[in-house]
Structure 1
Amino acid sequence: MDLGLRNKVVIVTGGASGIGKGILLGLIEEGAVPCILDRNDTSINSCIYELGELGQKVIAFNMELTDEKSCKNVIKDIIRIKGKIDGLINNAGTNDGVGLEHGSLPKFFNSLENNVGHYHLMAKTCLPFLKKSKGSIINIVSKTYTTGQGGTSGYAAANGARVSLTEEWGHELRGYEISTYAIVVAECWTPQYKSWISKRENPEKILRTINSRIPMENRMTTTTELADMTLFLLSKKSGIISGQTIFVDGGYVHLDRK
């Protein structure tokens, strides 16, 4: 399906691997112009090489998203190179395991900065250009904000803030016809997930248990499925939907897992 995204300039934070890379590949397939913002130089170089082998080029910046000066400079560079920004996909973040019992206030605030502070910073920096393009902001969210997980207060709180910001920005930016969305991820197979589970005792058994708890097809969501929803929401085919939280999780959160 042609979603009308050809030549649309879309920023993807954390776009060199995992969910971000899945979205990146979907954007390229639709003829859009993705711009990767990532702090992992190895992932960026690997992604550029892989796409180069396929005859594809991508705009990529190695940067620290929590640094305001760096964000402003990168956005200036994107505008200089491409002249516009049509969409922002806030995706970067990590479950850092900052809990209540064994955490601390400085670690908690640091978790918020690393997992939601840059969502706000990127939206603020891109806003003048999104106003011109009547573009979209999509915030990728972990299900931990509503299900909890244990031992991860910082990450759960940050993801709750991602949802709240999506709704708040939907109100604040509606006069500019900027659409906002939150896409909630539950269990999605990514390199980060693979690394985590490989360090557990009997990882294959744990994986079977996790899959058995996912109502739809007893399997994890793929990065392609998350990308498909992201691309639809970026397109004009999503109509007047805005300020909404959409779960792409195989029914993990809302269906009875028994």
Structure 2
Amino acid sequence: MDLKLKDKVIVVTGGSKGIGFGICEVLAAEGAIIFIIGRNQPTIIKAAEDLEASGATVAFAFAELTDPKQCENAIKSAVERFGKIDGLVNNAGVNDGVSLENGNYEDFMSSLQKNLVHYYLMAHHALPELKKSKGAIVNIGSKTSVTGQGGTSGYAAANGGRNALTREWAVELLPYSIRVNAVMVAECFTPLYERWIKTFDEPEKKLKGITEKIPLENRMTTAREIGNSVAFLLSEASSHTTGQLVYVDGGYTHLDRAL
């Protein structure tokens, strides 16, 4: 399917690795112009090189997303480079394990800054351009917002906020024909996920126990599969879809685990 994303300028936070890079790979294949925002300079440069090697047009801005001014400047850089923004993918974040029992106020607030606040800042600063283009926003969310996980109050709260903002923005931006949706992730094997698995005494056994509980094909979701759904939601093919939380998880969140 031609999603008609050719030459559309799409901003992707955290687009240099894991789910973010999978999203960028799909967008590149659709002919979109990709603008990556993040703080890890070596991985961003490498990602841009890899995407350009596939024929994509890519640019980037280095930004610490917990810094409001850097968020604003990064969006300005995208507009200065390409003259427009057609879509925003809020993806950057980290499951940082700030728990109720062993966490504290400072770490909890830091988790919200790392995982939620920049979603607002990116959308706020991109909005003038999105109004011109009648663009779309896709927020990447997590099953933790609806299932809980244990030991990760900050991340779960941030993801609950992502869900709420998706619906709130979908309502607020109706007059501008800007669609806002979220792609919800459960078990997707990324570098961060791999590091988490390795914290267990028997990581291979732990991973096997997880994948066995994923109803569809008993396997992890791939970053490219997340990217496929993101591209669809950014495109005209989903022109009457807004305010939706789309679960791309092999049925993990809602289907009976006893299957």
Superposition TM-score tier, normalisation by shorter sequence: over 0.9
> Which residues in structure 2 correspond to 1:69-218 (within 5 Å)?
69-218=69-218
User: 2:64·2:70 contact (CA, 8 Å) conserved in 1?
Assistant: yes
**Cα deviations by residue, 1:29-83 (Å, 9 ceiling, x for unpaired):** 0000010001112211221333354454421111111222112222222111111
Residue 183 of structure 1 and its aligned partner are, at CA, apart by 0.8
Partners of 2:246 and 2:104 lie apart in 1 by: 32
* 1:17 and 2:17 correspond: yes
Tell me how far apart the structure 2 counterparts of residues 81 and 52 of structure 1 sit (CA, whole Å): 16
TM-score by length of 1: 0.97
Report the counterpart of residue 45 of structure 2 in structure 1: 45
SS of equivalent to 1:100? coil
**Equivalent AA in structure 2 for residue 185 of structure 1:** V
Q: Deviations over 1:127-147 (max 9, x none)?
A: 011000000011000110111
Contact 2:34 2:57 in 1 (8 A): no
Deviation for aligned residue 1:122: 0.5
Aligned to 1:6: 6
In structure 1, how many angstroms separate the alpha carbons of the residues matched to 2:20 and 2:212? Answer: 26
Distance in 2 (CA, whole Å) between partners of 1:84 and 1:171 is 23
Provide the residue aligned with 1:256 in structure 2: 256
Larger displacement relative to structure 2 (151-160 or 107-116): 107-116
2:245 aligned with 1:245: yes
- 1:47-66 matches, within 5 Å, as 47-66=47-66
Q: What is the TM-score normalised by the length of structure 2? A: 0.96
Cα separation, partners in 2 of 1:57 and 1:214, compared to 1, 3 Å: same
- Give the partner amino acid of 1:99: S
Aligned partner of 1:232 in structure 2 is 232
Of residues 53-62 and 34-43 in structure 1, the stretch that sits farther from structure 2 once superposed is: 53-62
Q: Is the 8 A contact 1:186 1:249 kept in 2?
A: yes
- Output the aligned Cα RMSD: 1.2
Aligned partner of 2:12: which letter? V
Q: Which runs of 5+ in 1 are unaligned?
A: none
Unaligned runs of 5+ in 2: none
Which amino acid in 2 is paired with 1:85? I
The one-letter amino acid of 2:125's match is T
Q: For this pair of structures, how many residues does the alignment match?
A: 258
- Name the CA distance, whole Å, in 1 between partners of 2:177 and 2:110: 33
Give the % identical residues.
Answer: 53
In 1, the alpha carbon distance for the partners of 2:236 and 2:15 equals: 22
| In structure 2, C-alpha distance between the alignment counterparts of 1:75 and 1:135, rounded to whole Å | 15
**Counterparts of 2:145 and 2:167 in 1: how far apart (Å)?**
15
Cα distance in structure 1, aligned partners of 2:229 and 2:74: 27
CA drift of 1:125 comes to: 0.4
Q: Classify the secondary structure of the residue corresponding to 1:123.
A: helix
Distance in 1 between residues matched to 2:237 and 2:117, nearest whole Å? 30
Question: CA 1:55–1:239 in structure 2 vs 1: closer, same or farther (change >3 Å)?
Answer: closer
Give the conservation status (yes or no) of the 8 Å contact 1:18–1:223: yes
Tell me if structure 2 keeps the 8 A contact 1:66–1:121.
no
